[in-house]
Structures are given as C-alpha cells and as structure tokens.
Amino acid sequence: MQDRPWYQSGWAIILGLLFFWPIGLLFALLRLKADRSCHGFVANAFRVIGYTLLILCCLVLLVAIVGLPNTTDVGSDISGIVWSTLFAAGGIILLKKGSNILAGIKRRQILINQIVNQQLTSIDEIASHILKPVGEVLYDIQEMAHDGFLPGYQVDRQSRRVWRPMPAPSVVQAAAVSGRAPEIVQFTCTGCGARNQVQKSGQFIVCEFCNAAVAV
C-alpha cells in the first residue's frame, strides 16, 4: 500500500468536505495530483457531498427565513443564513468540480481506447474517429501525457502524432536468456479501459495508465 500524508486519505477528504468544504477541496486536489487512481473516488465524493450540502443548507435557510420575523436574536439568524449560503455555494462548486472530473475520466477512456487499444498514432485520425476538433484532442492528449496517463508516450505538436517509442527488451525476452519465465498477465482496466500486459507480482497488479490496482 502506498504511504501518503494523512490529509490525502479518504476519511480526511470526506470530513473536510462535510465540515469545511474549502479544506476538503484542498485535500482532494492534493490527492488528485499525487494519485492517478483516485479520480473516480474524488469525483463521486464531490457529487455526494455537494448534494448533501445543498439539501441541508436549503433546509436550514428555509427554517431561518420562516422564523426570522418571530426571532429575538436577529443577528444570530442572519449569521446562520450567511453560513448556510456559504456552504450551499460550496455544494454547487463541488458538484461542478465532480462533474468536470467525471467528464475528464470519460475523455481519457475514449482517448486511451484509440491510442493504446486501437494503436492509432495520428491525432487527426483520432479526432476524426471520436468526432472532436483536432486542437481539442491534441490538447487533451498533451495533458494526459503530462499528468502521467500515457506513460512512455511522446506527443509531437508539429506532425500531430502520439506514439510510444520502441521499448527496451521485455521481461519475457530477458527471462528467456536467463531461463526463468515470469508470469505475464493481460487484462483490461476497469478504470480507464486500457489493455495492459504486465508481469504478475503478488496478489495485485496495477494498470500502468491510471494506476488502478486489480486483484489477481
């Protein structure tokens, strides 16, 4: 298991989002930057907490506004309305951020299928297949390469190509020389859709494109 700071753990993110959403949002963004495998978890957490905050804040606002004419502590009620509005705004921000992350996951799945599974190298051809503008596809592929979702791949803006240079001799070839054949596992990642071929090591194997762990 990968060691990470406590503030990047799932419980810290959830508690932060529930009780003070800017802190939870910061924790989640730090986790997103450090861990490619958690994007789905963070996106769903944002959406669930966002809806929760919106519903709770709407109820609190409704109660406060209805009771405002009869209260003796107007300042306290107004303060409650302000805080409820702040958390409601946080709910909207979390919903939007969660939706954006999910949209990014979907874009990566589509592009990984074209680049990794279909082995297309022409960005113009990829854009034609997925019915997107070439400039938008080029930008998304560059972002994926920068963020580690296309490990080992190179992107050429001028020729609009994406490819993986010829790898070094594989573990299978090296094992053939030494007489020891490692167990190679082929699987399609449920997180990003990439077809992987990796050497089995222990009870889990990891997708090289999104870092998701799969039990074997």
Q: pLDDT by residue (tens digit) across 1-56?
A: 457 888 888 889 999 888 888 899 999 999 988 888 899 999 999 999 999 989 98
- Asked whether residue 179 carries a pLDDT value surpassing 60, the answer given is no
Residue by residue, DSSP assigns the chain as -----GGGSHHHHHHHHHH-HHHHHHHHHHHHHH-GGGHHHHHHHHHHHHHHHHHHHHHHHHHHHHHGGG-S-HHHHHHHHHHHHHHHHHHHHHHHHHHHHHHHHHHHHHHHIIIIIS---BHHHHHHHHT--HHHHHHHHHHHHHHTSSTT-EEETTTTEEE-PPPPPPHHHHHHHHT--PPEEEEE-TTT--EEEEE--TTEEE-TTT--EEE-
pTM, two decimals, is 0.79
Work out the average pLDDT over 203-208: 84
* Predicted pLDDT of residue 82: 79
Q: What is the predicted pLDDT for the residue at 171?
A: 46
Residue 119: its pLDDT value, please? 93
pLDDT digits (tens, 9 = 90+) for 91-148: 999 999 999 999 999 999 999 999 999 999 999 999 999 999 999 999 999 999 999 9
Sequence-ordered list of residues with C-beta below 8 angstroms from that of 64, at least 6 positions apart, any chain? 77, 80, 81, 84
Q: Rounded mean pLDDT of the chain? A: 85
Domain boundaries, the chain: 6-105, 178-215
Whether pLDDT at 172 is above 60: no
